[in-house]
Structure 1
Amino acid sequence: MFLKKLSLINYKNFASQNFEFDSKINCFVGNNGIGKTNILDAIYHLSFGKSYFNPVATQNIRHGTDFFVVEGEFEKNGREEKIVCSLKRGVKKVIKRNGKTYERFSDHIGFLPLVIISPADRDLITEGSETRRKFIDGVISQSDKAYLQVLLKYNKVLVQRNSLLKYFAANHTFDPDALSVYNDQLHGYGTDIFEKRREFLEAFIPIFKRQYKAIAGGNETVDLSYDSKLLDTSLLDLLTQAMEKDRALQFTSVGIHKDDLNFVIGDHPIKKFGSQGQQKSFLVALKLAQFDFIKNQAKTTPILLLDDIFDKLDEQRVAHIVALVDDQNFGQIFISDTHAERTENVVKTIHQSYKIFKL
């Protein structure tokens, strides 16, 4: 699978721009602020229907205009696939595949598998548990449609249960039977999600460790561990035990929406005990493991986006990524960098065709 053409209209800083890509390596070079990352984000948009960097959809519309259109022509399994993602202010976002509008965005997730490595990935270490849950859910969802649907159902019931708790507080009433209806639903959906996450991490962690060792050498031990109360107690029991607490807080304090993924180096949290270099290696290993996992599950080689990669990583880590790209089993890759000469010197060492776009 690869992206042949990209068309941008009023997307971020681009009024109108068209690109034709090489099936292997494509590099965007130029000064900071010129829009290199925005092109990568547009490609991400075609895969996920949203920006990787900006959760507020309307802020991706070019200043002073009312809409954006991102259009991509892909080749997948010998077929032409045209994806269009568009947004107009005040109107719901639209995603089309070959002219047909998706009724549910979730139906598109996984159709164009993609992995991005970016300086923004640091949020996985520095931010709260929600960021790490989104990472887990995002990886699983790209190859498991059923998982994403169950997750959406869980979140919908969670909103309803929280609304009921607020209603009880506002009206000085309480009905445990009404709450138990939501408890049963959360237990069913939540248990499925918990089991899928646990299965995923059993397969994912060895891949991650292997990638880290290849990048950083064999002197450091790293690990990922799943932090969930469901490891010890059923969700139904947890919800029952927390009923009075939830009633006081007016929201659901237990469940798979509280799970976390612990990042560990040498038996210590990498956030506190990992050097900057170790944290970078950890994140790159995490994303390359994601690439391997999705490739194995989806039976399709994901597109790889490397945002500002050479500025943020030392030569050893870049060399490892370059070696991966040199592998015939690798697919299409997009690179952004500020130094044209540095980028060209690196891609020349790779025995693949390439294009360089100077912005």
Structure 2
Amino acid sequence: MYIKYLQLINYRNYKELSIELSKNVNVFIGDNAQGKTNILESIYYSSIGKSHRTIRDKELISWQEESAYIKLYVKKERLDKKIEIKVFKEGKKGININSIKINKISELLGVLNVVMFSPEDLKIVKESPSFRRKFLDIELCKLSKAYYYNLVQYNKILNERNMIIKHKNESLINMLDIYDEQLSSYGAAIVRDRKAYIKNLNSKGKLIHKEITSGKEDISFSYCSSINFRECNKGEFLDAITSNREKDIEKRTTSLGPHRDDFIIKINDIDARSFGSQGQQRTSVLTIKFASLEIIKEIAGEYPVLLLDDVLSELDSKRQRYILNSINNIQTIITCTGFNDIKNYLKKDDSKIFTVSNGNCMEKNYTL
């Protein structure tokens, strides 16, 4: 899978952009705040229908314009795809795949798979469980429409349940049996899929991490459920939240379920979040991202597009070398402020170099 062509109109600081990409390595060079990340954001947005930088779609539209437009041609092993997205100022968006309008975001998922690695991804290791849950949900939604459906339904029912217990509406309290039954069905399925993903992350990640660290470190991932499952089924989930109902009513929130879960990252059996060094935490994220590439390849049958947003400057030479030596057969789009750090890893016939300045992007010939 790779992107052959990208067009942007009135997207962020791009009045109009049309570029053809190499199926191998594409490097966008420029100073900060010139528009490099906007290009990666538009590709990421075309993958899952959301930005990694904002929850407000109208921020994607150029100043004083009414709409923004993204068009991508994606080459795939089986059937090529054309993705077109129009974002409107009032918050709506329209998405076409091969000129056919889609009605649900689930129809977009899997058309273009991407893995993005940016400095903000350090939050997966360092910050609260919500960042790790978000990572799992995004990766699993890419791979499974069933997971996306279960997650949407779970969150809808969870919100309705919380409204009932928050306001202690006596006339609706008796309906909690119905809500808990539904919540248990979707919740147990979500936890099963998350645990399976963590198992796969362990399988792929351990080998990658040992290679990055020359065998000096061992990494492990373990899922931490708020419910003490044995078989991870609906009955166990239902028993747990039913038993906890009075506490939930007292606290006015649902305190058990996948919305409260987490996963722990350990390096040499030490919690990377609490006790890992900055270098170890960065390496953990690198391991997670490259393991994600392999998981998508295994399930979807082809590698996703790899987006590297100004991460090379954050890594030492050893980890830079690992990245740049590991991207064969993977379309990679890199943003950076300088060319010297990566030019020795690029092949002239397989790479394209672009310079970005104030919303203008030009392909350049560099001596490799």
State the TM-score, normalized to the length of structure 2.
0.91
The letter of the residue matching 1:289 is A
Shift of residue 252, structure 1, vs aligned partner? 1.2
AA aligned to 1:275 is S
Q: Where does residue 35 of structure 2 map in the other structure?
A: 35
Task: Give the letter aligned to residue 186 of structure 1.
Answer: L
Pairing 1:106-255 to 2, within 5 Å after superposition: 106-168=106-168, 171=169, 173=170, 175-232=172-229, 234-255=236-257
C-alpha deviation, 1:197, in angstroms: 1.4
- Whole-angstrom distance in 2 between the partners of 1:204 and 1:333: 21
Maintained 8 Å contact 1:265/1:273: no
The corresponding residue for 2:343 is 344
Question: Matched residue of 2:266: which SS?
Answer: strand
Q: Which amino acid aligns with 2:97?
A: R
Q: Output the amino acid matched with 1:126.
A: K
CA RMSD after TM alignment: 1.7
State the match for 2:65 in structure 1. 65
Q: Does structure 2 retain, via aligned residues, the 8 Å contact 1:4–1:72?
A: yes
Cα distance in 2, alignment partners of residues 293 and 111 from structure 1: 16
Aligned to 1:24: 24
The one-letter amino acid paired with 1:291 is: L
CA distance in 1, matches of 2:173, 2:129: 29
Q: Which residue in the other structure is 1:353 paired with?
A: 350
Partner-residue secondary structure (3-state), 1:146: helix
- Structure 1: 5+ residue stretches without partners: none
Q: Matches of 2:214 and 2:298 in 1, distance apart?
A: 24
Return 142-151 or 229-238, whichever deviates more.
Answer: 229-238
Superimposed CA distance per residue, residues 295-322 of structure 1 (whole angstroms, 9 cap, x where no aligned partner): 1001121111111122111111111112
1:249 maps to a residue whose letter is K
Deviation at 1:79, TM superposition (A): 3.8
| 1:199-232: CA deviation from partner (whole Å, max 9, x where unpaired) | 2222221211111111122122221110003343
Contact 1:215 1:320 in 2 (8 A): yes
For residues 199 and 75 of structure 2, the distance between their equivalents in structure 1, rounded to whole angstroms, comes to: 33
Q: Which residue of 2 aligns with 1:305?
A: 307
User: Once the two structures are aligned, what percentage of the paired residues are identical?
Assistant: 34
Q: Distance in 1 between matches of 2:186 and 2:52?
A: 27
Deviations 1:257-288 (A, max 9, x none): 11101121232221221111111111000000
The aligned residue for residue 332 of structure 1 is 331
Distance 1:268 1:16, change over 3 A: same
Report the equivalent of 2:12: 12
- SS of residue matched to 2:81: strand
Runs of at least 4 residues of structure 1 off by over 4 A? none
Q: CA deviation at 1:174?
A: 5.7
Residue in 2 that maps onto 1:258: 260
Alignment of 1:42-57 (within 5 A): 42-57=42-57
Report the 3-state secondary structure (helix = DSSP H, G, I; strand = E; otherwise coil) of the residue aligned with 1:357: strand
In structure 2, what is the equivalent of residue 93 of structure 1? 93
Alignment size in residue pairs: 351
Which stretches in structure 2 are left out of the alignment for 5+ residues? 231-235, 357-368
Q: Using the TM superposition, give the Cα deviation of residue 60 of structure 1 relative to its aligned residue in structure 2, in angstroms.
A: 1.7
Q: Residue 94 of structure 2 contacts residue 101 of structure 2 at CA under 8 Å; is this kept in 1?
A: yes
Q: SS of the residue aligned with 2:265?
A: strand
